Chains A and B, each alone.
Chain A
Amino acid sequence: MKIIVCLKQVPKNDSVLRINEQGTWIQDRDLTYEINESDAYGLEAALQLKEKHGGEVIALSLGPARVQSVIKEALARGADRGIHLEDTAFDNLDAYGIGTAIAAATKAEGFDLLLTGLQSDDYGFAQTGVIAAELLGLPHTTIVMDVELNDAGLRVKRELENGFFQWVNMPAPAVLTIQSGINTLRYATLKGIMAAKKKEIKKLDAATLGIDAASLAPRMEFRRIYLPQKNKQTQFIEGSAGDIAAKLIDKLKNEARVF
């Protein structure tokens, strides 16, 4: 079974974030990065499937040179090889753009299963995997907690609300977006780290993938990003209990507009 896992490099989730001067995103200077949380669980799911059924795990990441560290980490944990989508045309893509690049690269590669995290810790769109699936013309399932192989293809467990789950039978190849926390992440071993140095990381750019600029053009933009405003107010209402109740109702109705 050939599995491709998409790994996004995101700012560490305990980063102290400062807004950039244009007020459109966060400052990227002084940031440190890590593998997007749900993507790491996707990688682990892929490695466990490979251990059970054999095959190959390919770690794919898109971004500048620094994202190689994410691919290397995946190789050290047991992925067989890496694909790095690197091109200045890939800077500042929205979910559609990233989905387009992933679809082009994975189509060329071919696979039985394409895994992404449920959503990224930075933008949180939760769209990239789904868009890639649509562009590839493949079935997809989101918020996946378990994956089993059977003769017909896949049987996957989806998370619903309030502790309910859904089991879905679907054909392969398919795209699954993986929920965080569904398995136990492994440590890279020293052997794994040494072996990773010899594994291949293939670099692909937009031209090689045959992606034109128009298909990467953003369909969405950030107008302004700002810290949540605190506007806590405290008012004291005085008078008899009846007066207070009447005034309170009036304020809730006309000022706070909660009814």
Chain B
Amino acid sequence: MENIERDTLEVDVLFVGAGPASLAGALRLRQLIGKHNEEAARTGGRKLDEITIAVIEKGREIGSHMISGAVMDIRPLEELLPNWKELGAPVESEVTVEDVSYLTRRFKIKSPIVPPPLNNHGKYVVSLNKLIRWLGPVVEESDVMLIPEFPAAELLYDGDRVIGVRTGDKGIGKEGEIKDTYSPGADIFAKVTVLGEGSRGSLTKKLVEKFNLDEGKNPQVYAAGVKEIWELPKGRVTPGFVMHTLGYPLPNDTFGGGFIYGMQNDLLDIGLVVGLDYQDPYTDPHRLFQEFKQHPAIAKMLEGGKMLYYGAKTIPEGGLLSQPKYFGDGFLLIGDSASFLNSMKLKGIHMAMKSGMLAAETILEALVADQFDNARMSRFADKVKESYIHKELYEVRNFHQAFRHGRRWGLIESGLQYATKGFGLLGDLKTEAGHENMKKLHVFNRRPNAPGQVPQAEPVKYDNKLTFDKVSDVYRSGTEHDGSAAASQGSGFQHLRRSLHGGIRQSMPVFLSGSRL
């Protein structure tokens, strides 16, 4: 396999993963290069000519792997594209109604005030998927190469310097055999490689391990977000409605909460975030989400509606104290890959974008100096520390850890943290990797009923109206794999749905046949 002839491409700057971090970074870099050249023309300085910037993405299209329906702090978008409204950025609505509630098994108790950290006044409900599908062409037009369907498979090194990535081979069967569509991965070389892979990126994990970038840091802890998009009868959804819940169905010892966002066109975004540092081995975020929807207050909201889409993702919750060293010889880490996420507000899009934009400033300086070593890249950390994202991360640095001893204690400690700019009662808190918290089954007085069966106090019934089993939900996730192909690197759901494109199909128009509606 080693004397395969591979396509190669040389670029100046390569971003891996076309999410908010990379796209904002690539566009900012192009803007900064433009400004630099104008300045150089005026002062007779050295211009940066023909700098090539590329973004590779594993998804079928730019945006297709984005699932977050979110409340977004739009500061970075305003900095990046001050005329974003005229350009038609597809935000759903400014936040109009806010509701923070505590759920018991039967009741919903609405907080009389919205706690300041959860206040979303002036922020926007967005579908990240739509936002990125819109931003992609804007970035492309600024002369950035966007290359979808090219997953990065491994980093390329020259000694200890990152010099690019090798993309994944295509046309490999599930037994690893080479099919007649085989197309070997390409080598893309860059002066700087920026990893914006999102949470748990496959290259990032290897890079962090290789250079011990997490030395002396808390291990990363994760939460899983499970969500669905519902269509409700006309007029029932208030765009900009934002609801956050605590309590049911999560046990006291499990971190997390529910969210419901009102979008345009009668769509409602509903989901549950569950900390993966839970103690009960049978904790199942998907099942808990079904229980959440069955809560009387929630079920009533969804009544008469129809579930359209499903998605799930992990959220890096560790925050500042879990951030790896996010720069080195020839590389930078941005967005979720570098744990740029506010674990209290569960907001990461603005931090992802801002971190990408600060990376762009760093890269501009590096291009001007024509130096891409660790010292030059370390400027990124300085820029982060001077920015509002560092301040924000600093203030919530102990938030997730505070909940390790249960929700009640967590609420008290985190309240104190809020008052003390993050210090709280106990100062900086250590944490363990999520799985270390897990306890043995007997602690919960449970035994598996049968192999593979999840013991439950009251098993969820999937009625396919309000509640859906995993297979139905995955079908609605838009996940599509050629059943005979090896799973691509880093895909979320594998082998669960077979391709619709198998062989010769008697060509009834699919959606008039009714099965897909």
A residues in contact (CB < 8 Å) with B:
11, 13-18, 26-27, 29-30, 32, 37-38, 118-124, 126, 159, 179-182, 184-191, 193-194, 197, 227-228
Which residues of chain B come closer than 8 Å to A180, judged between CB atoms? Answer: 501, 504-505, 507
Which residues of chain A come closer than 8 Å to B145, judged between CB atoms? Answer: 194, 197
Q: A14-B480, A118-B507, A119-B509 are in contact. Are A190 and B167 (CB under 8 A)?
A: yes
Q: A184-B180, A186-B181, A187-B183 are in contact. Are A30 and B504 (CB under 8 A)?
A: no
Among B147, B167, B504, point to the contact of A179 (Cβ < 8 A): B504
Within 8 A of A (CB), among B466-517: 476, 478, 480, 500-501, 503-505, 507-512, 514, 516-517
Within 8 A of A (CB), among B130-171: 130, 133, 145, 147, 149-150, 167, 170-171
Within 8 A of A (CB), among B245-269: 265
Min CB distance A1 to B, Å, is: 23
Among A17, A120, A159, A188, point to the contact of B149 (Cβ < 8 A): A188
Min CB distance B269 to A, Å, is: 13
Q: A18-B231, A187-B171, A227-B517 are in contact. Are A181 and B504 (CB under 8 A)?
A: yes
Which residues of chain B come closer than 8 Å to A179, judged between CB atoms? Answer: 504, 507
Min CB distance B310 to A, Å, is: 11
A-B contact pairs, 15 of them (CB 8 A): A17-B516, A17-B517, A29-B265, A32-B61, A38-B507, A120-B509, A179-B504, A179-B507, A180-B505, A181-B503, A181-B504, A190-B9, A190-B150, A194-B9, A194-B145
Among B7, B180, B512, point to the contact of A190 (Cβ < 8 A): B7
Instruction: Kindly state whether residue B238 has any CB partner on chain A within 8 Å.
Output: no
Contact yes or no, B7 A189, CB < 8 A: yes
Within 8 A of A (CB), among B163-220: 167, 170-171, 180-181, 183, 186, 188
Instruction: Kindly state whether residue B309 has any CB partner on chain A within 8 Å.
Output: yes
- In the complex, what residue of chain A is closest to B267 when comparing beta carbons? A30
Query: What's the Cα separation between A11 and B61 when bound, in Å?
Result: 14
Among B7, B61, B147, B509, point to the contact of A122 (Cβ < 8 A): B509
B residues in contact (CB < 8 Å) with A:
7, 9, 61, 64, 130, 133, 145, 147, 149-150, 167, 170-171, 180-181, 183, 186, 188, 231, 265, 308-309, 476, 478, 480, 500-501, 503-505, 507-512, 514, 516-517
Q: A14-B478, A124-B509 are in contact. List 17 more A-B contacts (CB 8 A).
A: A13-B516, A14-B516, A26-B511, A30-B130, A37-B501, A124-B507, A124-B508, A124-B512, A180-B504, A182-B504, A184-B181, A187-B149, A187-B171, A190-B150, A190-B167, A194-B145, A197-B145
Q: Is the interface of A mostly helix, strand, loop or mixed?
A: loop
Which residues of chain B come closer than 8 Å to A194, judged between CB atoms? Answer: 9, 145
Q: Which 10 A-B pairs have the closest CB atoms?
A: A124-B509, A181-B504, A228-B514, A190-B186, A190-B7, A16-B308, A191-B7, A187-B183, A187-B170, A181-B503
- In the complex, what residue of chain A is closest to B61 when comparing beta carbons? A32
Contact yes or no, B133 A32, CB < 8 A: yes
Among A13, A29, A159, A190, point to the contact of B147 (Cβ < 8 A): A190
Query: What's the Cα separation between A94 and B150 when bound, in Å?
Result: 37
Min CB distance B496 to A, Å, is: 13
Among B150, B186, B505, B508, point to the contact of A181 (Cβ < 8 A): B505
